Chains A and B, each alone.
Chain A
Amino acid sequence: MKIHEYQAKELFRQYSVPVPEGKAVFSVEEAKEAAQNLDGFPVVVKAQIHAGGRGKGGGVKLASSMEEVETLANEILGMTLVTRQTGPEGRVVKKLLIEAGQKIEKELYLSLLVDRATASIVIMASRDGGMDIEQVAEKTPERIVKVHVDPLMGIQGYQLRQVGFGLELPAAAMKQFSQLLSNLYKFFAAKDCSLAEINPLILTADDQVLALDAKVDFDSNALYRHKELMELRDLDEEDLMEVEASKYNLNYINLDGNVGNIVNGAGLAMATMDIIKNAGAAPANFMDVGGGASSEQVENAFRIILADDKVKAVLINIFGGILRCDNFARGVVDAAKKTGINIPVVVRMEGTNVEEGKKILDDANLGLASAVDLIDAAEQIAASVN
């Protein structure tokens, strides 16, 4: 689960990871008030959306007077911000972070993430702050400091030093940096983060280090033990259909194509999207109803897909294991009766109770086309949209 920069910084404050003074606001009036409470100018006006690249997209600006704060807040609030991560449609800005400007001596990079391959927490740091870390890793790997932390032991003093000296920090900043990194690790472990990234981490003219930006992602599987974090979820930043699907525990992702699809199991669902593409069409979504979906879930999945205007045909691909084909077919029939089907639907079912499932669909007389195998299913669906 992603959160906003201002929320991440609030959590950083709780864990004594230094951040600039600032406040999140929802209107121009609030923006002026927040700027008033800061210690002079410049003041930074930052768009709050769940996507990186905000600065380049024009969502982060510097104000040197109250008039400028007002102008910029007016300009950025409500704008559709397009960045490399939002896609061409962009994201409407509904919140701002008003923050005290800093005297930056040096921009650094610091992040913590879970490393899949080594089953450890990896700290990545670089002297090249403010840049895309992937590019730094590719072009100048020697400028990246990487330290693996054993999760059973926690972060050790020598590891803090490895990172601090690796960043070539001045002696005067070393102690404060160690404290910052140690606290960031505590936060990361305590809240089940999957990523905590500070880019840039800055060194000020008076040798202070602080997080100028903050990007935090939480492990969704661990949210059950962090009820307080659930409140930070911002539905404005999510796709409406995806929010609806999540209510029924359906794994759904909205995509650009026009072939809707419903599949049981994540791997098979991805492979089904690929098959649609292979046949010369494009998937409108990823929809995994789960290995053991109930007929109610199937019904909701079908309803959500049919409500999507861009969907011109639907491919249903089910391999019955725990989810029996007859139960699945009942869910499809119920959904079809409730919503009505007016686009081509191709069904391919295999596995447990497949004959009963096919009979239920045939008897319901819904006009669904059935496919003998995956290749046939893909060809039929492509023919119906092309």
Chain B
Amino acid sequence: MSIYINKDTKVVVQGITGNEGSFHARACLEYGTSIVAGVTPGKGGQKMDAVPVFNTVKQAVEATGADISLIFVPPPFGADAIMEAADSGVNLIVTITEGLPVFDMVKVKNFLATKKCRLIGPNCPGIITPEESKVGIMPGWIHKKGNIGVISRSGTLTYEVVDQLTKLGMGQSTCIGIGGDPVNGTNFIDVLEAFQNDDETSAVVMVGEIGGSAEEEAAVYIKKNLTKPVVGFIAGLTAPPGRRMGHAGAIISGSSGTGAAKIKAFKENGIHVCENLGLIGQTCKDVFS
């Protein structure tokens, strides 16, 4: 097992004929992901390499049985693309697009509450179950199959963590970037619950950052519900208040969302905190062995 995706996953890529969409669709195919369809309105009937392109997600799903959508459309069309995917019957939507207006995401999130599908992102690197399926933009080759679940709000920071794990011989069950936006789909708690229920995951690394209170809520959840060990890291301890640190969601507002508060919550709830990114692989090795 693994969580959310595996070797049988069938993916439709929305925005497959764009620069980013085609580049990453090819990289996913190379990794072994089964990409069965693409969608670009007005380009139905064409092909991206060997992948058939459809005008609507619904047509793509009906023709190919795709169960996951991977979205690369530009921000003004992001909310529409997510809602289209949700209405087409896929059960997982992975949105890479960065820069969606918050109000759009607020509406989308309320819309999704009436649907039976899961959203990962937006503004995220996606999800990978090493050596089975990659639905995202992460460099596949740094990952290795194993038993550590990785959850993070960021992209390259996650690659750094994964790279250290792999180099120290610790493989991963599934790695998920939930995205750096203030309002997103799947949150830390959803993923923690899935990792707890996954037989192949024996330990979890959770990478958070300043802004909001998702890490604090996850920490309380971990203490109550997780029997598996968790190593935690928080980025942005030196970030000044009131400034958006690259990610739309990475901002300390007044006294809320500070790194110090998150680390405190981690420690109080039995999470093994690593405060130096250079040592996160080693910390995991020490804690998990």
Q: Measured between C-beta atoms, what is the minimum distance from B258 to chain A in Å?
A: 12
Q: With A117-B212, A151-B110, A219-B103 as given contacts, are A267 and B247 in contact (CB-CB < 8 Å)?
A: yes
User: Which residue of B has the minimal Cβ distance to A318?
Assistant: B156
Q: Counting chain B CB atoms within 10 Å of each CB, which of A121, A251, A374 scores highest?
A: A374
Cβ A319 vs Cβ B236 within 8 A: no
Q: Which of A256-273 contact B (CB under 8 A)?
A: 263-273
A100 to B104, CA, bound (A): 38
Q: Measured between C-beta atoms, what is the minimum distance from B155 to chain A in Å?
A: 5
Can you list, as one digit per residue, whether each of A339-361 has a CB less than 8 Å from chain B (1) or not (0)?
00000000000111000000000
Stretch from B45-53, B55-63, B238-246 at the A interface: B238-246
Indicate the size class of the contact surface on chain A.
Answer: 35 or more
Q: With A117-B213, A286-B246 as given contacts, are A267 and B103 in contact (CB-CB < 8 Å)?
A: no
Q: With A117-B213, A351-B139 as given contacts, are A221 and B250 in contact (CB-CB < 8 Å)?
A: no
Q: With A219-B101, A221-B75, A351-B142 as given contacts, are A269 and B245 in contact (CB-CB < 8 Å)?
A: yes
Stretch from B32-40, B193-201, B222-230, B271-279 at the A interface: B271-279
Note all chain B residues with C-beta closer than 8 A to A265.
Answer: 154-157, 246
Cross-chain pairs A/B with CB under 8 angstroms, 11 sampled:
A114-B102, A151-B107, A222-B102, A222-B103, A225-B101, A267-B154, A267-B157, A268-B157, A274-B238, A274-B275, A321-B159
In the complex, whether B76 has a CB less than 8 A from a CB of chain A is yes
Cβ A267 vs Cβ B105 within 8 A: no
User: Which residue of B has the minimal Cβ distance to A323?
Assistant: B156
Note all chain A residues with C-beta closer than 8 A to B105.
Answer: 119
Residues of chain B whose beta carbon lies under 8 Å from any beta carbon of chain A? 20, 75-76, 99-107, 109-111, 125, 137-139, 142, 152-160, 163, 180, 182-183, 207, 209-210, 212-214, 217, 233, 235-240, 242-250, 254-255, 259, 275-279
Cβ B276 vs Cβ A270 within 8 A: no
Note all chain A residues with C-beta closer than 8 A to B250.
Answer: 266-267, 270
Q: Measured between C-beta atoms, what is the minimum distance from B17 to chain A in Å?
A: 18
Note all chain A residues with C-beta closer than 8 A to B138.
Answer: 321
Cβ A321 vs Cβ B278 within 8 A: no
User: Which residue of A has the minimal Cβ distance to B187?
Assistant: A117
Note all chain A residues with C-beta closer than 8 A to B276.
Answer: 274-275, 278, 375
8 extra interchain contacts, Cβ-Cβ under 8 A, other than A264-B156, A276-B238? A150-B110, A221-B100, A267-B156, A267-B180, A267-B247, A268-B157, A270-B239, A275-B277
Shortest Cβ-Cβ A-B pairs, 8 listed: A267-B154, A266-B246, A265-B156, A267-B157, A374-B278, A222-B101, A375-B278, A270-B236
Q: Measured between C-beta atoms, what is the minimum distance from B121 to chain A in Å?
A: 13
One of B99, B100, B209 near A270 (C-beta < 8 A) = B209
One of A120, A264, A266, A278 near B245 (C-beta < 8 A) = A266
Cβ B153 vs Cβ A273 within 8 A: no
Note all chain A residues with C-beta closer than 8 A to B20.
Answer: 292
In the complex, whether A146 has a CB less than 8 A from a CB of chain B is no
A74 to B158, CA, bound (A): 54
Q: Measured between C-beta atoms, what is the minimum distance from A263 to chain B in Å?
A: 8
Cβ A319 vs Cβ B106 within 8 A: no
Q: Measured between C-beta atoms, what is the minimum distance from B83 to chain A in Å?
A: 12
User: Which residue of B has the minimal Cβ distance to A264?
Assistant: B156
A217 to B156, CA, bound (A): 29
A117 to B188, CA, bound (A): 12
Cβ A378 vs Cβ B278 within 8 A: yes
Cβ A270 vs Cβ B235 within 8 A: yes
One of B156, B182, B245 near A114 (C-beta < 8 A) = B182
User: Which residue of B has the minimal Cβ distance to A113?
Assistant: B253
A117 to B211, CA, bound (A): 11
A374 to B167, CA, bound (A): 14
Q: Which of A124-179 contact B (CB under 8 A)?
A: 134, 150-152
In the complex, whether A255 has a CB less than 8 A from a CB of chain B is yes
User: Which residue of B has the minimal Cβ distance to A251?
Assistant: B246
A264 to B157, CA, bound (A): 9
In the complex, whether A244 has a CB less than 8 A from a CB of chain B is no
User: Which residue of A has the minimal Cβ distance to B257?
Assistant: A116
Cβ B110 vs Cβ A119 within 8 A: yes
One of B102, B182, B247 near A192 (C-beta < 8 A) = B102
Q: Which of A308-347 contact B (CB under 8 A)?
A: 319-322
A192 to B103, CA, bound (A): 6
